[in-house]
Amino acid sequence: MLGHHNYGEAEVRLLRVTRGPDRHDIVDLTVSVMLAGAFDVSYLTGDNTNILPADTQKNTVYAFARDGIGSPETFGLRLAQHFVDSQPSIYRARVSLVEYPWTRVGGHTFVRAGGGHRTAAVTYDGSHAWVVAGIVDLALLNSTHAEYTGFIVDRYTTLAPTSDRILAVTVNAQWRYSITTAEPARWHRMHDQARRALTDAFAGTYSRSPQQTLHTLGQALLDAVPEAAEVRLSLSSRHPAVVDLAPFGRDNPGEVYDPTDRPYELVEGAVLREGAPPAGLAWSLLSGV
């Protein structure tokens, strides 16, 4: 018995150059398409009558890029609507985009930057669209203003409470908007506001737990971006270990740390605005199935 199913072209790489008289602009994207629809017969018998090949999806990404990207959100919307509106067998489309940051250092020269990647994911079902924006791999570190006390102690506890520790997290934030149409400049501005809110909230928060930090980041984002209805956050928290220097006759007042790779604490949570509209298909093609 065939259950839910979907397919699409993943990780189409796209560099879009806009050539102005005085300077160039670039957008560096990875675009993934996922489609749901009347594909049962292809799964059951290999009859591809209803299948738009992944290769064609790739071509469509490149052809649509000819008219400009605008913003990841608008480019995703155009693509998602095209797939559903042009093919009767496609009921739902989800277009996911990752934009890699480049910093301008000249009229036509750029250096690849850090600070996390911008993401967007647009879902369209033929009548409604949902837009999610995000930041992934945003690494933040507070060298103080973090404690960890008052937790459960059981027979497997060896961790001592600490009143001053380093909080080093990699943030993945995804927020869904209550709006679905806007000019590219507005999508850019909202994303800038969201990023700044996350960074500022992290800098300004005295952390009693990664959970509390997560909630504070989510609140700050909703405060800064009125169009955001919900934000889902995951924090990968690596606690750099204070190295014991006593065997070498030295103290270590929080100066020398071993920033371990694994394991790490993974903290997840959603923060919603009061009265947020229902999520619909914002988070997944499968929602509401």
Contact call for residue 76 and its own copies (CB under 8 A): no
Structural tokens at position 90: 């496609």
Choosing from 126, 151, 181, 277, the residue that interacts with its own copies (CB under 8 A) is 151
Query: What are the phi and psi torsion angles at 118 (to 5°)?
Result: -85, 135
70: left (phi over 0), alpha (psi -120 to 50) or beta: left
CB of 126 or CB of 204, closer to its own copies: 204
Interatomic CA distance for residues 17 and 258, integer angstroms: 42
Nearest distance from C-beta of residue 138 to its own copies, angstroms = 7
Tell whether residue 166 is a contact of its own copies (CB under 8 A).
yes
Q: 37-56: which residues touch its own copies (CB under 8 A)?
A: 39, 42-56
Residue type, 91: Y
In the complex, what is the shortest distance from the CB of residue 181 to its own copies, in angstroms, rounded to a whole number? 24
| Position among 180, 181, 208, 223 found at the interface with its own copies (CB under 8 A) | 208
Of 86, 180, 181, 183, the residue at the interface with its own copies (CB under 8 A) is: 86
- Side chain identity, residue 232: R
Question: Under the criterion CB under 8 A, does residue 142 sit at the interface with its own copies?
Answer: yes
Helix (H, G, I), strand (E, B) or coil at 188: helix
- Confirm or reject binding of residue 245 to its own copies (CB under 8 A): yes
Closer CB to its own copies, residue 108 or residue 188? 108
Q: Are 90 and 39 in contact (CB under 8 A)?
A: no
For residue 84, state whether it binds its own copies (rule: CB under 8 A).
no
| Interface with its own copies (CB under 8 A), residue from 127, 163, 274, 278 | 274
One of 81, 273, 284, 287 touching its own copies (CB under 8 A):
273
DSSP reduced 3-state for 186: helix
113 binds its own copies (CB under 8 A): yes
Least Cβ distance, residue 146 to its own copies (angstroms):
10
CB nearer to its own copies: pick between 183 and 244: 244
Q: Are 78 and 95 in contact (CB under 8 A)?
A: no
Number of neighbouring beta carbons within 10 Å of residue 166: 19
Query: How many residues touch its own copies (CB under 8 A)?
Result: 132
* Per-residue DSSP letter, 229: E
CA torsion angle 280 41 95 63 (round to 10): -140
DSSP string, 190-220: HHHHHHHHHHHHHHHPPBS-HHHHHHHHHHH
**214 belongs to the binding site for its own copies (CB under 8 A):** yes
Cβ pair 12, 56 in contact under 8 A? no
Q: Does 22 engage in binding with its own copies (CB under 8 A)? A: no
- Position 91 contacts its own copies (CB under 8 A): no
Nearest distance in Å: CB 129, its own copies: 21
Nearer to its own copies, 94 or 133 (CB): 94
Q: Note whether 221 binds its own copies by CB under 8 A.
A: no
Going 278 to 214 to 189 to 21, the CA torsion angle's sign is: negative
